[in-house]
Amino acid sequence: MSTIASVGGYEPGYARMLASGELEERVERLYALLASCTVCPRDCRNDRLAGVLASCASGERPVVSAHTPHFGEEPCLSGTRGAGNIFFGNCNLRCVYCQNFQISQDYTVQKTNEVTVERLAEMALELQARGCHNIGFVSPTHFAPQMAKAVLLAARAGLSVPIVYNTNAYDSVEVLRLLEGIVDVYLPDFKYADSEAGALYSKVPDYARHARAALIEMYRQKGARLEMGRDGLLKSGLLVRVLVLPNGVAGVSRSLAWIAETLSPAVAISLMAQYYPIHRAASNEKYRALDRSITAAEWQEALDALEANGFSHGFEQELETSARYYRPDFTDRETPFKDIRHFRAQS
């Protein structure tokens, strides 16, 4: 069975939930988790509603580092007018090679980027008014309740495009269940096949276990089917990103085998070649396994694993150009991305 389905006039799930009153109820339940924060698997238990910071250095107000049309996502998301991406600051991971480290780990600077939830809703509406095909919340995990409330407020004011949840997959299953119907497209990274790598390179315990549980829940909600509009753009579904890291650090072959066996080989995969050493990976002897870009042989091994596990839907980056093009600079809040990523469809 094909994982591609064409839909006509797509109505986002949150629009239906708004009409029934369920959206407001979900937001209330999500916000309750902030009082003793269990929004992500770190389970800090800090009262963020009282202004106490969690381990992600975040309180109640969301931190937004940029909101802009983005043309470097997969073609089914970027389209011709861009994905309407809202980049949250801070992060619940501490990846030593983070290409967005300026906004994910520079907490002093990000304190100045706090906004109200009402302003977050306005950002989504502004991006829709600029013609963006969707609203992509980037690194949303630690601000999932605030994101949901912003969707509620924006929906009341006329938001009507799909919501993309662009996550590192270190997500709470409970939160994902509360987001069912609010999120149209899940776009998770699947970073590591084992938790030892997650502990060393992303500074969190049990990454693989939590990420796998999150992917299982996303798959339960969306299955393997991608719902595409008549415009050729993705309206609903699950698209799993797998970044190839040097020296087999990510365990890509094992991750792909797990997805095929536990979920389905019909799940759409976005295989990414954009890694280059940056942040702490570029200069720290402790992370020397990450101190270079990937080789052609490593990329081919990942491509072979896609084929061996029966994957045929999704996207692949171009090895020759991806690491050079994807180099954002978030000191420019208006256009942090000067170039675009290069993808080609797998099928």
Among 109-118, 120-129, 271-280, top mean pLDDT goes to: 120-129
Q: Which of 50-59, 256-265, 309-318, 329-338 has the lowest mean pLDDT?
A: 329-338
pLDDT band at 57 (very low <50, low <70, confident <90, very high): confident
Predicted pLDDT at 30:
98
Contacts of 19 (CB under 8 A, 6+ apart): none
Determine contact, residues 164/77, Cβ cutoff 8 Å: yes
Is residue 48 in some structural domain?
yes
Higher pLDDT, 165 or 53: 165
Contacts of 306 (CB under 8 A, 6+ apart): 256, 269, 271, 316, 346
Q: Which of 20-29, 201-210, 214-223, 326-335 has the lowest mean pLDDT?
A: 326-335
Number of domains, the chain: 1
Secondary structure E strands in 27-89: 64-70, 83-88
Is residue 340 in some structural domain?
no
Task: Judge whether residue 336 has pLDDT over 80.
Answer: no
Task: Judge whether residue 8 has pLDDT over 70.
Answer: no
Predicted pLDDT at 236:
98
Calpha distance 200→190 (Å, rounded): 16
Determine contact, residues 227/279, Cβ cutoff 8 Å: no
Q: Residue 66 is encoded by which pair of tokens?
A: 């940029």
Determine contact, residues 36/46, Cβ cutoff 8 Å: yes
| Average pLDDT score over the chain | 89
Bridge-based pairing of strands 4-7 and 163-167 is unpaired
DSSP state, 290? G
Predicted pLDDT at 6:
60
Q: Say how many residues make up the chain.
A: 347
- pLDDT tens digits, residue range 293-320? 999 999 999 999 999 999 999 999 988 7
Task: Judge whether residue 108 has pLDDT over 70.
Answer: no
In percent, how much of the chain has pLDDT > 70? 86
What is the average per-residue pLDDT within 1-7? 58
Residue 68: domain span = 4-334
Q: Which of 85-89, 172-176, 239-243 has the lowest mean pLDDT?
A: 85-89
Higher pLDDT, 51 or 9: 51
pLDDT band at 95 (very low <50, low <70, confident <90, very high): confident
- pLDDT tens digits, residue range 162-191? 999 999 999 999 999 999 999 999 999 999
Contacts of 9 (CB under 8 A, 6+ apart): none
Predicted pLDDT at 29:
98
Give the residue carrying structure tokens 């939930």: 17
Q: Which of 63-67, 120-124, 274-278, 323-327 has the lowest mean pLDDT?
A: 323-327
Q: CATH no. for residue 291? A: 3.20.20.70
Task: Judge whether residue 342 has pLDDT over 60.
Answer: no
Predicted pLDDT at 276:
86
Backbone torsions φ then ψ of 63, nearest 5 degrees: -110, 120
